[in-house]
A and B are shown apart, each in its own frame.
Chain A
Amino acid sequence: MEKLIMSSSPHLNGKKRTQNIMLDVIIALAPAMIAGVIFFGIRAAVLIVTCVTACVLSEFLSRKIMKRDNTAWDLSAVVTGVLLALNLPVSLNPLMAAFGSVIAIVVVKQMFGGIGMNFVNPALTARIVLVNSFPADMTKWTQPFSYGADMVTTATPLQMLSSNVDALSSASGGELVELPSYLTLFLGNIGGCIGETSALALLLGFVYLLARQIIHPVIPVVYISTVAGLSFLFGRDPLFDILTGGLLIGAIFMATDYTTCPMFIGGKVIFAFGCGALTMLIRQFGSMNEGVSYAIVIMNILVPLIERYVKPKTFGQKKIVKRKQNKAKEGVK
């Protein structure tokens, strides 16, 4: 008999692989990509292809230079590329988008050890780098359905809201802009990043991710409810806050990124609550009218801290804390 294979149990593997998890995320992002192309035309498609190509290439090359296993086939770089593209305004120069992709993969992901090791979300961090490098280009919003040369610029609904607030508070009084209806917001016929405008498309993706058990619903649910609750407290319109800006794409696809969110459910709740609170604080009190990317990145950085203090109670674990309290009580007596 030839040599038998020795290995530690279990001797079976489940069906899920990193690669097909990533493929499922890409499928879940497909409605948002399609909506982006419908609203913003072929240039949206060009940006998506640019980002994906740049991300996969930088993943492949950086692994090669570092003499490590090639991980381009696990499709995680594709997910990063798609997410980054969906978070860019359609009018952005593709070269800038490619620059962002290199930042995401090389600096944020590979320099920290590759998949599973980055401590912040690569796509979001790249977006923040781009916003700070090219502030003008990154905040030029295009009116949907104005393809090609006759591009009409517009404001995002959140910009409209804050200009309305300014107008109301300024003594001289300004012109009030009419805000888009809920239906328009839900379908996504508004100014904004390629993938963030259509709530419908993003929710379709959410349903797919849940059905395939790729993500746990707790982060999106807690994140969105926190935003709604705080929005109500601040006297804003909760539904408007949910449907506008990057909240849905952030809550569904960015905050749930495996690598940069806590692994234990209790930690996920705290993380999502923090994201929601920071988003609303930035939207209400900050100088920006968008808060999602900063909120998520800040909470990403806090994940190790959350994981240190929030631990699951193991099966049959003795209640040490209670005993300590009892001792303390006895001491008082």
Chain B
Amino acid sequence: MDLSFPRRPFHSKGGANVPHRKNTAHMESVFMPPPDKIILPMQQHIGAICTPTVKKGDYVYAGQVIGNSEAYVSAPIHASVSGTVADITQITMTGGQKIDAVVIESDGKMEFEPSIQPPAEIKTKKELDEATWNAGLVGLGGAGFPSHVKLNVKDESKIDTLIINVAECEPYVTADHREALENGENVLLGIYKVKEILGVKRVFIAVEENKPDAIVKLTEIADNPELDPNDEVRVIKLKSRYPQGAEKILIKVCTNRVVPEGGLPSDVGCIVMNIASVAFISTFIKNGKPLTLKRVSIDGSAIKNPQNVIVPIGTKISDIVEFCGGYKTEPKKIMLGGPMMGTALTTDDFPIIKQNNAVLFFDEKDANLMKTTACIRCARCYMACPLSLRPRDFEMASDSKDLEKLKDLHIMNCMECGCCSYACPAGRKLVHAIRVGKNHLRTGGAK
């Protein structure tokens, strides 16, 4: 297969010119001291829910496993601070499901388990899988897909391309941008490790062109002739157009390959990894400390001091708000993730989990969406859909519970990127209708 580097990215259809609003891009990330109490839900990934392995009253070190699962598609959960297990309780996740959560009262020291050691040198795929499992690593870009599953491709001879996702196309979010600037060396070391083990022939570091300083920095280290004598790692500058960072679109613009419907990137010989995940692999190799910290962008019109904060996983949003100077005005909407795909929360009592990369606080003006009026069939949703789907038809079929039609329209292919709703001049809640429609298909139309 063709393994050349394209001069410029390939064409991708649709998308939306969303405002950038990267207000925190030029601010150094700040470490937040461990809060008094953290909450660790037993599911911080796609896959099986873990069961707590500690009891109330136990003393735990940071980095100690507190939740584990036998299932393959899962990831262990580690304590992110040292302290005492105060409670094992139930917490309602953003999707509405109730799951167990371990509450730890911090002793404020963040003491790591004394026995933690850097892993032995990783040479094989199996060792890499083991290391990522032990590290509790999941895709840190937002989906939270366990890394050991992603890296454990069936036939690695078919994988020829690794794409490092630094597109960060969501407005406001700058966590990956700061990762590139502040942790560039580790990013590159992580890339070479994965590249070496999977035997990948070419690596793209995909950055949107609205991050010129990150491009300069990454190009500088990617051009290291010692590590990369054949120049197989290169930075690719993407157009700043949402959703360049979506996996399928990213593969299309970098390699011009189309992931088949319902397929995985590995079907077209690609692996896509978030920059923070790949950098973490390198950190883990150095010191053996599991994933306990996460960089999140704190921004929005209702927060006093927007910035990137590195917090222990499980920190409550209200504690972060306090750390960021409190609210400027009464927040009307709080979102986990960017404004295009993020989830609205009912309370700021919710903990940060592994895959969160931003928390946004909107004041009343930003929080209210436009009034929904009648569809005028302008076809802007058709044009905006990066996957050539028909959002307006989804809405109609979903309203009438027409399961045949929904299947015929390939509704399951939709990635809910939100371009259609964004483009709609009538303010129709198309993505919401699509979610309802998908649910109709899953439940067979029953209520």
Contact = CB atoms under 8 A, between A and B. Distances in A.
A and B co-occur in one complex: yes
Interface of A: 1-2, 4-14, 16-18, 20-21, 69, 71, 74, 76, 114-117, 216, 258-259, 263-264, 311-318
Given A2-B330, A14-B16, 8 more contacts: A4-B334, A4-B347, A11-B369, A71-B373, A74-B373, A312-B389, A316-B261, A317-B410
A272 to B, nearest CB: 14
Interface stretch (B104-112, B422-430, B437-445): B422-430
A4 B333 contact: yes
Contacts of B389: 312, 314-315
Given A13-B369, A14-B424, A315-B387, A8 B16 contact: no
Contacts of B13: 315
B376 A9 contact: no
Contacts of A116: 374-377, 426
Main secondary structure of the interface of B (DSSP, over half): loop
B362 interface: yes
B376 A18 contact: yes
B381 to A, nearest CB: 9
Contact of A7 (B260, B344, B373, B376): B344
Nearest to A11: B339
B32 interface: no
Contacts of B427: 13, 17
Contact of A9 (B19, B342, B367): B342
Interface of B: 13, 16, 18-19, 171, 248, 258-261, 263, 330-335, 339-348, 360, 362, 367-370, 373-380, 382-383, 386-390, 392, 410, 413, 416, 418, 421-427, 429, 431-432, 435
Question: What DSSP secondary structure best describes chain A's contact surface?
Answer: loop
A219 B348 CA distance: 50
A242 to B, nearest CB: 26
Contacts of B387: 314-316
A317 B382 contact: no
Given A1-B331, A5-B333, A316 B424 contact: no
A21 B261 contact: no
Contacts of A74: 373
**Residue among A6, A12, A114, A216 with most chain B CB within 10 A:** A12
A72 to B, nearest CB: 12
B16 A316 contact: no
B432 A263 contact: no
A74 B426 CA distance: 10
